[in-house]
Amino acid sequence: MKALKLISACIALSSPFLSTSTLAANIEGFNFTGYARYGGAFQNSDEKLVTTAGALNGNATGRLGNENNGGEFALSRTFTSDQGAKWDIVVMFDHYSDESWAQNGGVKLKKAYASVTNFLPSQPELRVWAGRDFHQRPQTDLNDYFWMTHDGQGGGFYNLNLGGVKLDLGGIAQVQGDMVGDSGKYGITSKIHGMRIFDKADLSFYANYGFASEKAKEQPYYDTKAYQLAADLSMNGHQLLFRYSNNAKDSVFDLVEDQEAWLVSYNGKTDFSDKAGVQYLAAYQFLDVADYNDRANYNVIIRPTYAWDSINSTWIEGGYSIVDYKDVDATNSSWKITVSQNIAIGSQTWARPMLRFYTTVGSADNEYVGFDSATGEMQSTRLDTLTFGAMFEAWW
C-alpha cells in the first residue's frame, strides 16, 4: 500500500497537468465571469452612432443605444493553501474588434495572471499579483470613459493597509500589439484610498509615472517622461474627480512630448422614489497638444429612468457634446436622444442581465475633421442618426 501511494505521488508530481501547488492546496472552484453586450441595430440615416469629431471624454454624447458590440470573457480557478492563503489564476479574452481571429485582432488575450491574498496575518486584505491584467482603469459610466487606463503586464499589490488608508502600487509594461512582449513603454502606478471625510465621503488620490526602456531607444519618445495626478471624491452615489496629465492624457504610456490634459468630471444618481430616478454626468477636458489640435470638450448627459415593476423599465438618455478648437476657427457638436425599453433581472438601474429595445435619434455637426491634402481647405461633415436596435448587456 505504501508503494502504491508513493507511485501515485510520483505520477502526480511529474504530470504536466498537476503541480506541487495543486497537491498542497484545496481547490475552491472554477469561475466563469465577464462582461458583454451584443445585439443588432438597423441604421436608417447617415451614421449608426452619434460621435463628436475630436471628442476627449469617451462616448461624450452618451452610451445608451450608442455603442458597438463587444465582450470580455474570463475563466479563473481558486485555491486555498494549507496555511490559509487564497490564490486566483485568471485568464480573460476580449472581443471588441471586427477583425477575425486569423488577422490576430478580433479576439485578444487581455488577462493571464496569478494573485494571492491572506498570506500575511497582519495584512489580510493585501493582494499581490503578477502577470497580464486590466490595470488601473477607473471609469465614468454614462460616457463609458476610462479616464485612466494602464492595462499591461507586470506586477504589484492592492490594499496595503497603512493604518487607516490603503495603498495600491504597480509596475506595468505596455504590451506590444497583441504579442507576448512589451513595447518598451513602462508605468509606475499608485493609488491611496480608503480615506473617509466626516464619515460621509470617500477620497482617493492617484499618482502615475511613465517612461521608456532601452528597447525604445530608437523611438522618438525614448527620452520622454509622463506623469498623472488625480483626486476622486465620492459620496452617496455622487462622484467629483480631477485629473492632470503631463506628456499624456488617459495613460502615462502615451509619452507625447509637450502634451497636457486637464479633466474635471461630475456624475451621480438621484432617486425620486422607488421607481423613478435620474442619472447625470457633466465633464470638461482641455487638451494642449502643441499644435492646431488644441481643444476643449464639454459634455452633458442626463438619463431619467422609470421602473414599471421589478423586471420592466424605461430609460430616456439625452446627451450633448461640444468640441471647441483653440487655434482653428471651428466648433464641433453633437446631440442624441435614446429611448430604451428594458427587461432586466431586477428593478435597480445596475441590474444585469438586461435586454434593451431602443431607438436613437441624433446629429453630429463637425465643422472641422481635418484639412484637404490637395486644396488645404478645412473639411467638415454633418451626419444624422436614426437607429433601431435590440441588445443584451450583462456582467457576471
Q: Could you report the per-residue pLDDT of 50-60, keeping only the tens digit for each?
A: 999 999 999 99
Q: What pLDDT score does 269 carry?
A: 97
Burial 303-324, CB ≥16 within 10 A → b, else e: bebebeeeeebebebbbbbbbb
Q: Which of 2, 236, 253, 36 is nearest to 150 (CA)?
A: 253
Lowest-confidence region among 18-32, 187-201, 308-322, 359-373: 18-32
- pLDDT > 70? residue 71: yes
The phi and psi torsions of 103 (rounded to 5 degrees) equal: -85, 5
Contact (Cβ atoms closer than 8 angstroms) between residue 65 and residue 359: yes
Residue 105 above 90 pLDDT? no
The pLDDT confidence band at residue 26, using thresholds 50, 70 and 90, is low
Q: What percent of the chain has pLDDT over 90?
A: 85
- Vertex 301: Cα angle to 134 and 57 (nearest 5): 45
Q: Is the pTM of this model over 0.75?
A: yes
Read off the pLDDT of residues 277-308 as tens digits, 9 standing for 90 and up: 999 999 999 999 978 899 999 999 999 999 99
Q: So what's the pLDDT on residue 372?
A: 86
State how beta strands 378-395 and 354-371 pair. antiparallel
Query: Which CATH number is associated with domain 44-67+120-395?
Result: 2.40.170.10
Q: Can you tell me the distance from the alpha carbon of 12 to that of 35, in angstroms, rounded to the nearest whole number?
A: 36
Q: What is the structure's pLDDT at 10?
A: 41
Predicted confidence at residue 18, as pLDDT, reads: 40
Question: How many angstroms separate the most distant Cα atoms in the chain?
Answer: 89
Judged by average pLDDT, the poorest of 20-34, 97-111, 245-259, 339-353 is 20-34
If you average pLDDT over residues 1-30, what whole number do you get? 47
∠ Cα 180 184 187 (to 5°): 100
Q: Which residue has the cell 502615475?
A: 208
> What span, in angstroms and rounded, lies between the C-alpha atoms of 242 and 285?
10
